[in-house]
Amino acid sequence: MQGILDKLGHIHALGANVLYLTPIFASPSSHKYDTSDYQLIDPSFGTLDTLKLLVEQCHRRGIRVVLDAVFNHCGSDFAPFVDANKKGTESPYYEWFHFVEPQPEAGNPLPYRAFGYEKNMPKLNTAHPAVAEYLIDTAIYWTKEAEIDGWRLDVANEVDHDFWRAFRSRLKDIRPDIWLIGEVWHDALPWLGGDQFDSVMNYPLRTLALDYFVCRRIDRPSFIHALIRLLMQYPEQVNANLFNMLGSHDTARLLTACDGRHEILMRLLVFQYTFPGVPSIYYGDEVGMTGGEDPECRRTMNWDANGWDSDILRHIRQLTAMRKQERALQTGEIRFLDTKEEELLIYTRHHEEELVLIVMNLSEGWKNEELAPTSIGADVVTGIYHDRITGRKVYADRSLIRLSLPPGESVVVPMRAVQAV
């Protein structure tokens, strides 16, 4: 954590206002998802004082801190498991876990249930009152002691709902604005009814974005239809809080996922920053680090600025500043526009008198487009507007908006809409 403190200026310069850390608690592995002691920070990361200082310095810069809670399973050297595994039913912790008869033919050679059949990750019985109390008290302790601002909840869909309801209730009692983010890779509606999580990691959006922008597995109408269906799954306030990531410690790095194609990565970032939800950048992606799936995506941060892609870094800083300044990009409703040009993706974000027009040219040629206010869904105040990315001028009046886009270019144009009286 001292390393993060030393480089906090870099994170702040990105414009980030949330820092999410993967597990920091004691564990024998490098990934730390096999916790051996929930009450102790792993010595390789520092101490409680280091964490407190990190949180304090983040808060001074307007950055909230989110920790990773691994409550679906623990490590095989977690003291209660060691005791239960050794003593069996004589252990007071026996019912904290799921001991079973090994079934090698069914894929489970272990005498207990474990995450992914990994022997060093025995599954916790979160339905047991003592387990639930221990884990929730642990989260409360760190929330109070270190004054953190949220929890990312690992393998959240494999933990029973009653546990998460109790978890939310207790945590919100001491910190009403605490941010609870579940790791759910599929439809997460059962967890987003207001009684469990505030948000989830939006892996379905990542899949759709890569299918459309990178792999071209789907055409524009199919992409838009899938996005609308995704937005319709959850209430509006949930969509606004979804953790929209294009890369994580469980996926290939963004530039690698884009097959090294710089222009596609830049376009994906524009989409991420202009779509409803909370854009998230995985460390290193902002400077063009590469790597396939685990363990390649988990290499240490490259701090040699000579090896950075300064264009990506500049692009992300620009997009972050733009999003903070444009309220429509934070809370505005989204509207997809029809066009005869298959290689153009056009949509707007609209909040009261603020309107942002987003147009992406996916082709290798120039594209010209004229948009009528009826298609945008709002009258536009006549004037000359400017693309926030290139500074290009866009002329608009109450009857027509004219656009001319070079090959592969995206524009994000804030406009003024005429307020209905």
Q: What is the pLDDT of residues 150-185, one digit of tens each?
A: 999 999 999 999 999 999 999 999 999 999 999 999
CA distance 265 to 245: 13
Q: Is 133 a catalytic residue?
A: no
- Say whether pLDDT at 421 is over 50: no
Antiparallel, parallel or unpaired: β 179-182 and 199-200: parallel
pLDDT, position 420: 52
pTM: 0.94
Structure tokens at 314: 């500049």
Q: Is 154 a catalytic residue?
A: yes
* Architecture field, domain 1-329: Alpha-Beta Barrel (3.20)
Q: What is the pLDDT of residues 24-60, one digit of tens each?
A: 999 999 999 999 999 999 999 999 999 999 999 999 9
* Architecture field, domain 332-416: Sandwich (2.60)
Of 34, 149, 154, 286, the active-site residue reads 154
Of 183, 198, 286, 387, the active-site residue reads 183
Which DSSP string do the residues of 302-333 spell out, in sequence order?
A: ---GGGS-HHHHHHHHHHHHHHHH-HHHHH-E
Residue ranges per domain, the chain? 1-329, 332-416
Range of lowest pLDDT (44-58, 63-77, 124-138, 383-397): 383-397
Q: Mark 337-376 as b/e (b = at least 16 C-beta within 10 Å).
A: bebebebbbbbbbbbeebbbbbbbbbeeeebebebebeeb
